Chains A and B, each alone.
Chain A
Amino acid sequence: MRFKSDEELLGKLSEELDHLDMLYADVTPPSLPELEQLIAGEAVRRRKRRRKELLLFILVALVLVTIVISVLSTAPVLYWSLQAVFILSALGSLGAARIRHGREES
């Protein structure tokens, strides 16, 4: 099968894809009750998932707050040192990124 032009190839391709469509012309979609049941089931599943995510978020937040409070109360020097280290390293990496960006542009 040799095609002289893209148009000819695309014409044949469309024709064959139409045949493929015809083969599945009688495809039966799910019935309305089935779909409504699926929608209701999905809504319940989503609600459960949201509740689970919220619960997980609250648990992680509680753990983090507990850690922060206990470190602050038992070793305040360590706590403030860590705060300073985090802020300085964030500022340092921001500065380094800016310098790199400036070099690349020039």
Chain B
Amino acid sequence: MGDTTLEMISQAQQGDAAALAVLLREHYPFLYKYLIKATLDPLLAEEIAQDTMVRCMEKIGTYNGTSAFSSWLITIGSRLYIDRKRRWSREAQWREGQMQEQGNRSLRWSFESRNMEWSEVLDALSRLSSAHRMAVLLKHYYGYSYDEIGEMLEIPSGTVKSRVAAGLGQLRKELNEDEV
């Protein structure tokens, strides 16, 4: 983390709204892109990114610098996404499925409108449960350790390990089945 970022964090913690605004603006693309990959739904990613920023405004005083500011933001974003999924599953299972399908269609359309191919790998990734997808993403794309992911998602690192293994197993199985 650069000195300027640290300086801005310190100012934001002392109540400087302008410093906090700069900090959030700088980190927004990183957060949004993470959420796009975690949710595979652009609209939902945008909503959660906004909620994350609001939560960050509330909690900036509790940030202690033990992890990068960007990691702290995606921790908040991940927890908000998990909370939302829990709420959805309480409300209605079918609604969750519908929303996910809509999100996937929207992403697929974005790919196709730019003449890019929506790959089988992303399709298989979208069929993973959000818990498995986040674990695979944080471990193998963002390079966090099992312990770090455990802290981020508030689960034991053993659970993270089994989610990553199960997620990869399911990806491999689906992709191999697609070929048959």
- Interface of A toward B, CB cutoff 8 Å: 1-3, 6, 9-10, 12-14, 16-17, 19-21, 23-24, 27, 29-32, 35-36, 38-40, 42-43, 46
Asked whether any CB of chain A lies closer than 8 Å to the CB of B119, the reply is yes
Of B82-90, B93-101, B110-118, which stretch is located at the interface?
B110-118
| Cross-chain contact A29 with B121 (CB below 8 angstroms) | no
Known: A16-B122, A27-B32, A32-B22. 6 other contacts (CB 8 A): A9-B172, A14-B140, A16-B125, A20-B107, A27-B28, A43-B57
Set of chain A residues within 8 Å of B18, measured between Cβ atoms: 32, 36
Set of chain B residues within 8 Å of A23, measured between Cβ atoms: 110-111, 114, 116
Asked whether any CB of chain A lies closer than 8 Å to the CB of B168, the reply is yes
Asked whether any CB of chain A lies closer than 8 Å to the CB of B175, the reply is yes
| Cross-chain contact B57 with A39 (CB below 8 angstroms) | yes
* Interface size of B as a range: 35 or more
Bound form: Cα–Cα A65–B37 in Å: 53
Bound form: Cα–Cα A19–B168 in Å: 20
| Cross-chain contact B21 with A16 (CB below 8 angstroms) | no
7 A-B pairs with CB atoms under 8 Å apart are A3-B172, A9-B168, A16-B122, A17-B122, A23-B114, A30-B24, A35-B25
- Interface of B toward A, CB cutoff 8 Å: 17-18, 20-22, 24-26, 28-29, 32-33, 36-37, 42, 53-54, 57-58, 107, 110-111, 114, 116, 119-122, 125, 136-137, 140-141, 168, 171-172, 175-176, 178-179
Set of chain A residues within 8 Å of B24, measured between Cβ atoms: 29-30, 35
Residue of A nearest to B36 (CB): A24
Q: Smallest CB–CB gap between A78 and chain B, Å?
A: 42
